[in-house]
Structure 1
Amino acid sequence: MTPRLLEFYEKELQFIREMGMEFSKRYPKIAAGLDLGSTECADPYVERLIESFAFLTARIQLKMDAEYPRFTQHLLEIVYPHYLTPLPSMMITEFNPNFKGGITEDGFLIPRNTKLVSKIAGGRSRCTFQTAHDVMLWPVQVKEAAYLPLGQISAYCGESNLKTVKSGLRIKLRAMADFRFDQIPMDQLTFYLYGTGNLPVQIYELIMGHGVSVVVKDLSGQKIYSLDQSIINTVGFDRNESLLPSTAQSFQGYRLLQEYFALPERFLFVQLKGIQSTMQKIGANELEIVILLDTAQDKFEHSIQADNFKLNCTPAINLFEKQADRIHLKPQDAEHHLIIDKTRPNDFEVFGLLDVVGIGSDLVSEQPFYPFYSAFRQDAETSAEHAYYTVRRQPALQPVNANPAYLKTEYTGNEIYLSLVDDSEAPYDPDIKQLGVRVLCTNRDLPKLIVAGEGKTDFSLEISAPLDEEKGIRCLAGPTDPKPSHAEGSYAWRLINHLSLNYLSLIDNDHQQGAKVLRDMLKLYGDYSEHAIAKQIEGLLSIRTNPMTCRVPVKGPITFGRGLEITLTFDESAFAGGSCFLLGAILEQFFCKYASINSFTQVKLTTRERGEVMKWPVRTGTRALL
């Protein structure tokens, strides 16, 4: 029972006593009996009637109050469906290959959306995570890594490059299991930047902000190959690398912000792409990759090591498909509670619905139902039955007599209620006895009980893979705490206000006002109650824009267009243990995706302490126009 019912009940009791007394004094001839006094009535039967009446009217008030979040939920289902879902737990995992005969020179692919299953946590169900990136296991290992100052970099670059090159990052690789690099068809190499404090983010800034070229060299020094800066790529920004489900009606820039504030480490990946032709010229089992930098940062000379560059890593999210227990329909019920597993109801939480099918009384005939509030209803419109469903999310209540294993965390999550309607949103009442629902779900609060790094592998695969028996799969970051849905409460109305956000409000001529609008938007994605996130959001000081005209980087004839130069200014002291560079990179992608397809943006990152830090290249907008 919701605590709000007690709140309404007390208000109704107070109203009957106080306003009843006031009304009886104003109209004594017709309402003298309403003067009950300010204390309890002496007649217990009258007191019972008063309390019963207050209880019934409190229920009516509660139902009327619940209509407001229903309105916001239905509206957000169409324009911003990702706001209504809970935010699942996320983590970074490392796969440790078996180099002793388990892996071949052709490598082994662990595809995106591979399931990782945890150990049993606290006597409850196993947690299931899904990977976000393709991971190609190669018989390759990082043996050494170091920062090279200017005095040591001349051996890796020509005299002409010494004018721009100031330092470098050296990564020594070794081919395992007696293989040579010319035997391994490796075209790309993805590093996860790992470490304590803000070192990984600083390495990310060095590579993505100051990398000018890449050198591949065998240890003898006889073969040195120079590769262009274009082989250095970011990971995690594309739709096919997303952690959260990507839908057609959801703006990808918002997804980037959600994932950044949930797990910023998921963007700390650097990929060297298009290296196969160079690698196959190295007929040895060891080589060096040197990323040449145009800046000198001697503070890294003794802090960078091999463990900072992890191979075979991917983000993973506690999100997976499952067939829910069937719902047995009762004619008198307008709503139907969806429970994924009735034997363990608190171990699963609905993230989204994939399929809803009605089963007839013969238990054979099936009737598909489609979401009523949807921007895309082609399948439903072609159906002769016009059968739809609506969804209502409601905060879950902690069971009073729950098993102690279910009370170790404060997270309760949300529950889902389905209503079957026709195309006029009137109750749909065919010969349907049961509902079969396939859902996308999480393990609710179970990831908070996972203890990583103890014993053998932290997770197991549902597929066979050549992994080390002892190390197996390790969790490097996370799992993060899940966050509940914001389907109800004042937060939902703030999301409705988000509808007024547009391109002009973000680039207001007043740089202080523009920064405030952007900060308000960031508060919708970051948990402002967390001190570190609140400081980062407030660390955005200003946003300035200047219209500009330049050549648009598109294929075909030379084309000039008009766009915007956007300058973001941060206070670096607000990013203790992190870096504003990563948030700047997220916002740079956000503006690029937010701009129209016939325009462009160029983002410049500045800080109060260092001045200009980064100027990204011109990027054309990706938002299509009608």
Structure 2
Amino acid sequence: MINRMLKHFEDELASIRSGLEGFRKRFRREAEHINLNDKGQEDPNVTRLVDSFAWVSAKNAIQIDSLRTRHIEEFAQIVSPNLFRTLPTVVKAHFKPNPDDFNKPVFLDKKVEVEIDVINKGDENTQVTLCNSLPITFSPVEISSFKLEQTPFEHAIPENLDTKHALYCLRVALDPISLEVDMKQVLSQPLQLHFSNESIGRNVADIINHALLDVAITIDNQDQSVSLGRENFKPLVIDNDFIVSPIAKHEIPIYFKLKEYFSIPEKRHFFIVRNPYDIAVEPGQRVYLDFYLNELGSALVEEKKLEVKINKTLFSNLFHQTSEPIRVNYQELSYPVIADASQSHIQVYSIDRVFRIGNEGATEIPPILGKEATDFNQQLYWSQTTKLGRGRNIKALSGQEVKHLIFPLNKSSDTLQNGFTAYSEITCFDAFLANKVHVGNQIIVNTEEALAGEFTVGGVAIQPNLVSTDEQNYWNMLKLLSFNMSQLLTVENAKESLKGFLRLFINTNATHHELNVIYDVTAKKINSPFLLEGRMVFVPGMKIEITLDNSELNADYSLFIELLNDFFLAQTAFDRCCQLMVSYTSFNWPTKVFDAQLGERVCS
């Protein structure tokens, strides 16, 4: 239905373009005929007229194209408004608690905005507003040591540990920062760990995720080790709660997880450990986290720069505020939304809500694209468009994107003949953040939480910011929405078809090894049994067999295939099933077979 509608729209635009082009060619022929009658001498008035018409024709062509873009842009606002927006700039930060004042775990929720004073040597402190991107519990502990051990182990091990396959143990020692720290309370909260290495290629975090058999907690000087289970160790890159990008409730999380997997590699290093048990431990006592690995853990033996850290997080440059008031006089086609009249480097990331100021106070104006029906003849509503800024007159850097509001001319404009004043609740970002925050900066967070300590900046990951909105993004969205799992059965080259859709989530100018290692893709029809409402039912579906080329060891294989499994489930209809099986070309790596699951897509 959508494709037919767009095809009809394209045909209409093509006919308009054809008419304009034919008129322009005929006009130029007439002009050349006039010049020839004048003995070949050009008439400057005719030349100026021809050039003027060429300019008008080009402007009309731009307006026609903008109609098409606007049509698809508003469609994108309905389906997934945040998917193709530029990712936020990410600031990596490491919290070092003060042992005198910090003795209990403190939770910093996602989207909590923090006022930061950046301490620059020799310069005045710079104030920056950032937003916490990862919900994290800061713990009053530090990692005093970590060591990779090989079997036989000289410490206590869990009773149910598979000693035949557990050949390695990465032992991480957690020490309280003071004797007053209640370690039992610390272990009852999630522990967010950061694994990293300096070698080029595969991340050590992916090696651990691939080789992990079990996670255990061992109390110092005790002969008992408590198994937490493999399921209580989870990478943040596959967790819906740790998506950095703004995301609406109706948007599909796996799309954003894939996008951030490719564009924010730092997220791949983070893991969260949850302890579901009540473990007896004395205040101030050392605790070990034991990560038991199979034969694939041998890759860690050669890692010389392995690091394990705690209390690391990511901040983004997004924050919320109220825009400058807008005076709507119905004499303009659109009205620029200005974040801050005094700071031209503060730009608008998204318009969240719009309000009209009247005698009765502020009244919210509904968007044109909403769940409730809109009376387009009577009701006041708003839409938005994106334009390029032109200098200081709209408080934006020239060439940067500026959000504009569009209001209707209907019966509502008759009741508000003199116009009205409006303002917006907006999400903003600091375009100059990279010039303010640098590696090694000390930052002070002024929050309501008792974060007694200091943050150290570990780096700033700048995301590519397009000068203008790429029209291709909207066509990519239509391709993504039209992707059907059955295509992998019918296309001649299923591998290229899959890689083509995965490329919709990445910057086309970047190289991503995960796409290059896809060696083969095969899809087969299956019927799998499911227990539904007490009855065994065989559900038709698809089994996807993927072979990855691991000969170069240059990709994060285990994290990538977990995201692929989520992607296939999101693309599978709810009344169908899907199963993923992944094999490798080299080193006799074991085949990974995911359980067959029912799809998540509510419509086919």
Shorter-chain TM-score range: 0.7 to 0.9
2:558 paired residue number: 581
- The residue aligned with 2:423 is 436
Q: 1:36 to 1:525 in 2, by over 3 A?
A: farther
User: Match for 1:70: what amino acid?
Assistant: R
Alignment of 1:389 with 2:382, yes or no, is: yes
Structure 1 residue 142, shift from structure 2 partner = 0.9
Compared with structure 1, are the counterparts of its residues 311 and 429 closer, same or farther at alpha carbon in structure 2 (3 Å cutoff)? same
Structure-2 separation of matches of 1:452 and 1:392: 34
Structure-to-structure mapping, 1:219-258, within 5 angstroms: 219-258=220-259
Mean CA deviation greater in 127-136 or 484-493: 484-493
1:592 aligns with 2:569: yes
Structure 2 Cα separation of the partners of residues 193 and 123 of structure 1: 34
Provide the identity percentage: 15
Partner SS state of residue 418, structure 1: strand
1:107-256 equivalence runs, <5 A = 107-117=105-115, 127-152=128-153, 156=157, 161-179=162-180, 182-187=183-188, 188-197=190-199, 201-206=203-208, 208-256=209-257
Deviation at 1:89, TM superposition (A): 1.3
* Mapped partners of 1:139, 1:480: distance in 2: 31
Residues in 2 aligned to 1:516 and 1:319: alpha-carbon distance in whole angstroms: 36
Confirm or deny that 1:466 pairs with 2:451: yes
Equivalent positions of 1:255-294 (< 5 A) are 255-278=256-279, 280-281=280-281, 285-294=285-294
Q: Distance in 1 between the 2:80 and 2:110 partners?
A: 25
User: What's the counterpart of residue 542 of structure 1?
Assistant: 520
Cα deviation, residue 222, structure 1: 2.9
Moved over 6 A (4+): 14-18, 36-40, 120-125, 398-403, 422-428, 553-559
Question: Deviation at 1:225?
Answer: 2.9
Residue 501 of structure 2 is aligned to residue 521 of structure 1:
yes
Q: Distance in 2 between matches of 1:21 and 1:218?
A: 88
**Any idea what the Cα deviations from partners look like across 1:462-495, whole Å, max 9, x if unmatched?**
4353332xxx223335322243387443443343
TM-score under structure 1 normalisation? 0.80
SS of 1:173's equivalent in the other structure is strand
**Correspondence for 2:79:** 79
| Closer, same or farther: CA 303–541 of 1 in aligned 2, 3 Å | closer
Q: For 2:292 and 2:102, how far apart are their aligned partners in 1? A: 32
Q: 1:553 to 1:161 in 2, by over 3 A?
A: farther
- Change in Cα spacing, 1:245 to 1:556, as seen in structure 2 (3 Å) is farther
Tell me, yes or no, if the aligned pair for 2:380 and 2:407 is still in contact at 8 Å.
yes
For the structure 1 residues 548 and 175, does the alpha-carbon distance in structure 2 shift closer, same or farther, using more than 3 Å as the test? farther
- String of CA shifts for 1:395-417, please: whole Å, max 9, x gaps: 445679999xx79xxxx542122
Matches within 5 A, 1:297-446: 297-301=297-301, 303=303, 308-345=307-344, 347-360=345-358, 365-374=361-370, 376-377=371-372, 386-397=379-390, 412-421=399-408, 431-443=418-430, 445-446=431-432
Once the two structures are TM-superposed, the CA of residue 172 in structure 1 deviates from its matched residue by 1.1
Cα deviation, residue 438, structure 1? 0.8
The answer to whether the 8 Å contact 2:155/2:223 transfers is no
CA shift digits 1:148-191 (9 cap, x unpaired): 12243675356973222221211111122114665535223221
Moved more, 59-68 or 125-134: 125-134
Equivalent AA in structure 1 for residue 384 of structure 2? V
**Quick one: which amino acid aligns to residue 544 of structure 1?**
T
Q: Match of 1:584, as an amino acid? A: I
Bigger CA drift: 472-481 or 255-264?
A: 472-481
Q: In structure 2, how many angstroms separate the alpha carbons of the residues matched to 1:418 and 1:124?
A: 36
Post-superposition CA distance 1:418-450 (Å, at most 9, x none) = 11127999999555321111112222x323324
TM-score with structure 2 length normalisation? 0.83
Distance 1:138 1:350, change over 3 A: same
C-alpha change, 1:393 and 1:426, in structure 2 (3 Å) is farther
RMSD: 4.0
CA distance in 1, matches of 2:134, 2:39: 67
- Encode CA deviations 1:197-238: one digit per residue, 9 max, x unaligned: 3588333332x3332223322332433333433322333434
Q: Distance in 1 between matches of 2:108 and 2:466?
A: 30
Cα pair distance change 1:484/1:612, threshold 3 Å: same
Residue identity matched to 1:566: I
Give the corresponding residue for 2:489.
508
Summarize the Cα distance change of 1:231–1:44 in structure 2 as closer, same or farther, 3 Å threshold.
closer
Conserved? CA contact 1:351–1:439, under 8 Å: yes
Q: CA deviation at 1:590?
A: 1.7
Q: Deviations over 1:51-96 (max 9, x none)?
A: 4444444433332232221122122222232245332212433222
Alignment correspondent of 2:480:
498
Q: Which amino acid aligns with 2:77?
A: E
Aligned to 1:569: 547
The answer as to whether partners of 2:140 and 2:186 remain within 8 angstroms in 1 is: no
Residues 228 and 275, structure 2, Cα contact 8 Å, conserved in 1: no
- Secondary structure of residue in 2 paired with 1:351: strand
Residue 78 of structure 2 aligns to which amino acid in structure 1? I
Q: What amino acid sits opposite 2:274 in the alignment? A: K
AA in 1 matched with 2:316: I
Task: Return the letter of the residue paired with 1:331.
Answer: Y
Report what 2:102 is aligned to.
103
**Partners of 2:310 and 2:227 in 1: CA distance:** 22
**How far did residue 315 of structure 1 move?**
2.9
> Contact between 2:543 and 2:580, CA under 8 Å: does it hold in 1?
yes
Question: Measured at CA, do residues 483 and 517 of structure 1 come closer, stay the same or move farther in structure 2, by a change above 3 Å?
Answer: farther
Q: Quick one: distance in 2 between partners of 1:452 and 1:515?
A: 41
Task: Give the direction of change, closer, same or farther, for the CA distance of 1:616–1:274 in structure 2 (3 Å limit).
Answer: farther
Residue 24 of structure 1 and its aligned partner are, at CA, apart by 6.9
For the structure 1 residues 482 and 442, does the alpha-carbon distance in structure 2 shift closer, same or farther, using more than 3 Å as the test? farther
Contact 2:379/2:412 (8 A) holds in 1: no
Taking the aligned partners of 1:544 and 1:517, their CA distance within structure 2 comes to 11
| 1:559 to 1:155, Cα distance in 2 relative to 1, 3 A | farther
Q: After superposing the two structures, state which structure 1 stretch, 313-322 or 383-392, moved more.
A: 383-392
- Return the match for 1:620 from 590, 597, 601: 597
Answer whether contact 2:131 2:317 (CA < 8 A) is retained.
yes
Letter in 1 for 2:401: N
